Amino acid sequence: MRFIHIADVHLGAEPDAGSAYSEERPGELWGTLERVLEICEQERTDLLLIAGDLFHRQPLLRELKEVNYLFSELTHTQVVLIAGNHDHIRKDSHYRTFQWAENVHPLFESRMSCVEFPEFQTCVYGLSYHSREIREPLYDRCSAGGVRRYEILLAHGGDEKHIPIDRKALGKSGFDYIALGHIHKPQVLEKDRIIYAGALESIDQNDTGAHGFVSGEITDRGVRTRWVPFAQREYIHLQVQVDEEDTAGSVRKKICKLKSEYNNKNIFKITLTGVRGEDVVLDAGRMDDVGNILEIVDETRRKYDLERLKRENSGNLIGRFIGEFGEYDEGSLEEQALCEGLEALLNHKGSQI
Ligand SMILES: [Mn+2]
């Protein structure tokens, strides 16, 4: 029996709304799901497991029709899904009344239930969120029922407010495979057995690194899985080292060069570090047109010609301030205090002119 395990697709989300690439993002979430379905079709995958938060919020009726159509086109694959905290089954949820295609099997009860697939000797268990939060550790007490040869648990949660999970209890639950969702970073709790697939596409800028799905096979010899990177974009945080010789233009070029080492669809957060020349203005706002840059954080320190400044300001506050500092090490707290103090004093002086 071969399966694909995805989670946290978050259809309907609009990550980073307002930035240059963000208009394409909602469509990309759908696009990546469609590409997963193409893989299911090509590989004749038996089972597609969706471990919650297929939608980012309450699904619209037309969105359910769309997603159901896509599932219904699969000629070899059975789809099992649960609702997570984001798309929890509210009283007025369209999930309650929607008529799914024959090959789609929602486990929408708030208590554990299961769906059996005699054709590949498998039973899939799961429950769905009926509220935004569930603080009870519902998975701690559950165990495989022994109904079919292969038993799978579809589960969503793992933090304090969303069904806290005890790894040990899960480990003893007797399931052959536990398909987890909710934590967006892919991670393996037990090799080939208890796995967070991670969000199919990252939907948060702090959620860096690759995203994708789990591809698995269950045979008499056990379960084998591999994780498949599949997302169109990644969030990447980069540091760019600035030195005294740099100008705004040369920093911009450094950013472009560093970015070019990555897939150009990726989304970048850049931190400028190091020392900039005394009179260099690094206008981060004017550098983001190099493309797909979410944010540029300027953490550079200004390099001052202290002797000259002291000479030019002898007798005023700036000169006295510099004089207060004796010897200090490069990068020390003293140096930082001197630079920040000077910057404030010089800016203040400038504004008075
Ligand atoms: Mn969730």
* Structure confidence by residue, pLDDT tens digits, 305-349: 888 888 888 889 998 898 888 788 877 888 888 888 888 888 776
Query: How far is 16 from 292, CA to CA, in rounded Å?
Result: 11
Tell me which of 124 and 266 has the higher pLDDT: 124
CA of 53 to the centre of ligand 1 (A): 6
Residues 6+ apart with CB under 8 A from 188: 194, 195, 196
Q: What is the pLDDT of residues 12-36, one digit of tens each?
A: 998 876 666 677 889 999 999 999 9
Average pLDDT over residues 284-291: 68
DSSP 59: P
CA angle, corner 72, sides to 69 and 75, nearest 5? Answer: 145
Secondary structure string (H, E, C) spanning 287-316? CHHHCCEEEEEECCEECCCHHHHHHHCCCC
CA of 127 to the centre of ligand 1 (A): 13
Question: Collapsing DSSP states into helix, strand and coil, what is residue 29?
Answer: helix
Instruction: Parse the chain into domains and list their residue ranges.
Output: 2-229, 235-352
* 72 backbone dihedrals φ, ψ, rounded to 5°: -65, -20
Task: Among 40-44, 296-300, 313-317, name the most confident range.
Answer: 40-44
Tell me, what's the pLDDT at 296? 87
Greater pLDDT, 181 or 256: 181
Q: Provide the CA 53 distance to its chain's centre, in angstroms.
A: 13
Distance 195 CA to ligand 1 centre (A): 15
The per-residue pLDDT for 18 is 66
Q: How are beta strands 122-126 and 150-156 bridged, if at all?
A: parallel
Measured at the alpha carbon of residue 349, what is the angle toward residues 348 and 351, in degrees to the nearest 5? Answer: 65
**Percent of the chain residues topping a pLDDT of 90:** 62
pLDDT, tens digit, for every residue of 140-175? Answer: 989 998 889 999 999 999 999 999 999 999 999 999
What pLDDT is recorded for position 306? 85
Stated as kind and residue range, the H or E segment containing 26 is helix 25-43
Which CATH code for domain 2-229? 3.60.21.10
Nearest to 16 by CA among 285, 297, 205: 205
pLDDT digits (tens, 9 = 90+) for 102-137: 999 999 999 999 999 999 999 999 999 999 999 999
Residue 277 bridge partners (DSSP) = none
Strand locations in the chain (E): 2-6, 47-50, 78-81, 104-106, 113-117, 122-126, 150-156, 177-181, 187-190, 194-196, 212-219, 222-229, 235-242, 267-276, 293-298, 301-302
Residues 6+ apart with CB under 8 A from 149: 121, 122
pLDDT at position 288 is 61
The sheet that has 47-50: what strands, in order across it?
Answer: 104-106, 78-81, 47-50, 2-6, 212-219, 222-229
Q: How far is the CA of 183 from the centre of ligand 1 (A)?
A: 7
Give distance in angstroms: CA of 280 to centre of ligand 1: 45
Distance, CA 86 to ligand 1 centroid (Å)?
6
| C-alpha–C-alpha distance, residues 15 and 129, integer Å | 23
Question: What three-state secondary structure class fits 105?
Answer: strand
Distance 151 CA to ligand 1 centre (A): 23
pLDDT at 281 over 90: no
Compute, in angstroms, the gap from residue 158 CA to the centroid of ligand 1. Answer: 9
Whether 184 shows a pLDDT value over 80: the answer reads yes
Q: Average per-residue pLDDT in the chain?
A: 91
What is the DSSP code (8-state) at residue 51?
A: -
Distance 128 CA to ligand 1 centre (A): 11
pTM of the model: 0.84
87 C-alpha to ligand 1 centroid (Å):
8
- What is the 8-class DSSP label of residue 322? H
Instruction: Indicate the pairing of strand 301-302 with strand 267-276.
Output: parallel
Cα distances (angstroms) measured from residue 55 to each of 4, 95, 229, 242, 291: 18, 11, 21, 42, 28
Phi, psi dihedral angles at 226 (to 5 degrees) = -145, 150
Beta strands 2-6 and 212-219, pairing class: antiparallel
| Residue 238 tokens, joined | 């980069």
Q: How far apart are CA 255 and CA 247, in angstroms?
A: 12
- Please check whether residue 106 is in contact with residue 100, taking contact to mean a CB–CB distance below 8 angstroms: yes
Q: How far is the CA of 133 from the centre of ligand 1 (A)?
A: 10
Least confident of 146-160, 179-193, 249-263: 249-263
Which amino acid, one-letter code, is at 32? T
